[in-house]
């Protein structure tokens, strides 16, 4: 039952007119006008019509077509001819093979799935994703991950694969999922942070990874997931954290330039009017400057030394959109009290750090900064955070034999896709999302 061709590719092949082709997909629509039946087949790349006509189509194929139902899996063979359908071509059926039939009524109509409640869509995700409006989310997501690999490989980064069962949470907090590891205490990784630093210190110098991370945070927002895919980078021998931001900016500039011209997603971008605005240089605004902008321009008060809430992020997104014609802004010099212990602090102002976030249309999609590579300073940072050295002994050992100045960033794949497509909920950008309530399907 090998599939010969995707429907979308077939629609472009006018050189195949008159040739016999074989298409496979799901029955999208059935139109019956007496002696002629039209089976409209769909796969993730497009829709094509197969014509079954009594008197012309072999009787075996006619009988098989009579058994077809919506969302049945069907393969059709026959010559590709010009037709009156919107696609301009159709298949004159010579053979119809019903591969699989639904065994019960559809609980969700795929082509209308986006009109249903999100919870219903997620309960029947296998039907929801058959909707081309939904499947293209994941086509784009795959492309973003591919571009991430492409960009960083071109810039001398090595892909690594780090453990997802770890001995300690990277943030030093309680938002971790414990697991039983042969009778010992272990956790699902909050990020690959410790191990990507390990890779830099081990001599790989520039590394990247795409992998799952887990956050046991009981959030019930449109922005949070308990499991998502993080796209991480780490690089050594930096002058300061601006080097890291340059590499982050370079990746998003690649996305912006390629999304309307790369054949893999250009159709999606054109159909949805996707445009990513990046000025000559993404503005870099310190946290203290952000406090002032929020207060003076929007009357938004943020605790001095505190983090930006979702409203503050949204307002900063509006600010750079108006002032810089940009969809992006780096917020830099994050307060020490809200950054992890491994973040490098400013020498002259230790209550502030060389940490940053990148906001994309008013939503944080990247977190990064320069790491503390000096062993004695790491010990000081741990003590200042009230953390026990013994818990992080394995991590501290990395720094005992020569560690270069380094920094990195973690990027939320689903959030990036959410913002590119202007989705309302990050769960839409996760094939099978996990949140405090959802662990199936």
Is residue 4 predicted with pLDDT exceeding 80?
no
Whole-number average pLDDT of the chain: 95
Stretch 243-262: mean pLDDT, rounded? Answer: 97
Question: Helices 132-154 and 413-421 meet at what angle, rounded to 10?
Answer: 120
Pairing of the two strands 89-92 and 95-100: unpaired
- pLDDT, tens digit, 9 for 90 and up, residues 115-155: 999 999 999 999 999 999 999 999 999 999 999 999 999 99
Give the start-to-end residue ranges of the domains of the chain.
7-100, 127-429
387: which residues sit within 8 A by CB, 6+ positions away?
172, 341
78: which residues sit within 8 A by CB, 6+ positions away?
20, 21, 50, 91, 92, 93, 94, 95
For 257, phi then psi, to 5°, come to: -80, -30
- Closest among 275, 366, 284 to 324, alpha carbons compared: 284
- pLDDT, tens digit, 9 for 90 and up, residues 331-344: 999 999 999 999 99
177-206 as b/e, with b when 16 or more CB fall inside 10 Å? Answer: eeeeeeeeebbbbbbbbbbbbbbbbeebbb
**Residue 166 near residue 184 (C-beta atoms within 8 A):** no
The CATH homologous superfamily for domain 7-100 is Nucleic acid-binding proteins (2.40.50.140)
Dist CA 318 CA 335 (whole Å): 23
In the structure, what pLDDT confidence band is assigned to residue 83 with cuts at 50, 70 and 90?
Answer: confident
Dist CA 122 CA 302 (whole Å): 36
* SS3 (DSSP) at 4: coil
Q: What is the pLDDT of residue 144?
A: 98
- Closest among 163, 152, 241 to 204, alpha carbons compared: 152
Domain 127-429: which CATH number of 3.20.140.10, 1.20.140.10, 3.30.930.10, 3.40.50.300: 3.30.930.10
Most confident of 76-90, 170-184, 408-422: 408-422
**Residue 51 near residue 123 (C-beta atoms within 8 A):** no
Name the burial class of residue 372, with classes exposed (0-12), middle (13-18) and buried (19+) by CB atoms within 10 angstroms of its CB: buried
Is residue 172 predicted with pLDDT exceeding 60?
no
Would you list the DSSP string of 341-388? TTBPBPSS-TTBBSEEEEEETTEEEEEEEEBP--HHHHHHHHHHTT--
Q: What is the pLDDT of residue 379?
A: 97
Dist CA 82 CA 436 (whole Å): 52
321-338 as b/e, with b when 16 or more CB fall inside 10 Å? Answer: beebebbbbbbbbbbbee
């Amino acid at each position: 039952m090998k599939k010969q061709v995707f429907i979308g590719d077939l629609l472009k092949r006018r050189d195949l007119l008159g040739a016999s082709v074989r298409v496979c997909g799901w029955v999208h629509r059935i139109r019956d006008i007496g002696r002629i039946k039209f089976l409209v087949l769909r796969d993730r790349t497009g829709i094509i019509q197969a014509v079954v006509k009594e008197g012309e189509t072999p009787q075996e194929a006619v009988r098989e077509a009579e058994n077809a139902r919506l969302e049945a899996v069907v393969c059709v063979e026959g010559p590709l001819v010009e037709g009156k359908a919107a696609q301009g071509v159709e298949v004159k059926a010579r053979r119809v093979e019903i591969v699989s039939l639904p065994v019960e009524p559809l609980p969700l109509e795929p082509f209308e799935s986006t009109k249903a409640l999100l919870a219903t869509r997620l309960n029947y995700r296998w039907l929801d994703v058959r909707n081309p409006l939904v499947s293209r989310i994941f086509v784009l997501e795959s492309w973003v991950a591919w571009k991430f690999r492409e960009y960083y490989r071109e810039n001398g980064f090595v892909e690594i694969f780090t453990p997802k069962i770890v001995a300690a949470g990277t943030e030093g907090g309680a938002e971790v999922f414990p697991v039983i590891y042969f009778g010992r205490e272990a956790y699902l990784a909050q990020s690959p942070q410790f191990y990507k630093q390990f890779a830099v210190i081990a001599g790989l110098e520039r590394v990247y990874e795409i992998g799952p991370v887990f956050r046991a945070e009981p959030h019930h927002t449109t922005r949070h997931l308990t499991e998502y895919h993080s796209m991480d980078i780490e690089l050594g021998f930096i002058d300061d954290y601006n080097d890291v931001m340059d590499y982050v900016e370079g990746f998003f500039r690649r996305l912006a330039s390629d999304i309307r011209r790369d054949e893999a997603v250009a159709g999606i971008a054109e159909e949805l009017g996707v445009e990513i605005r990046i000025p000559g240089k993404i503005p870099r605004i310190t946290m203290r400057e952000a406090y002032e902008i929020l207060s003076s321009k929007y009357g938004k008060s943020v605790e001095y030394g505190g983090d930006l809430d979702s409203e503050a992020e949204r307002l900063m997104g509006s600010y750079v959109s108006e002032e810089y014609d940009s969809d992006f802004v780096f917020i830099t010099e994050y307060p020490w009290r809200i950054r992890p212990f491994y973040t490098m602090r400013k020498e002259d102002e230790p209550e502030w750090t060389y940490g940053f976030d990148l906001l994309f249309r008013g939503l944080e999609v990247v977190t990064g900064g320069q790491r503390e590579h000096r062993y004695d300073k790491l010990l000081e940072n741990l003590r200042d955070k009230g953390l026990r050295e013994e818990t992080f002994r394995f991590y501290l050992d990395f720094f005992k034999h020569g560690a270069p100045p380094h920094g990195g960033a973690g990027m939320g794949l689903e959030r990036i896709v959410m913002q590119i497509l202007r989705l309302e909920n990050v769960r839409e950008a996760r094939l099978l999302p996990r949140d405090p309530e959802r662990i199936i399907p």
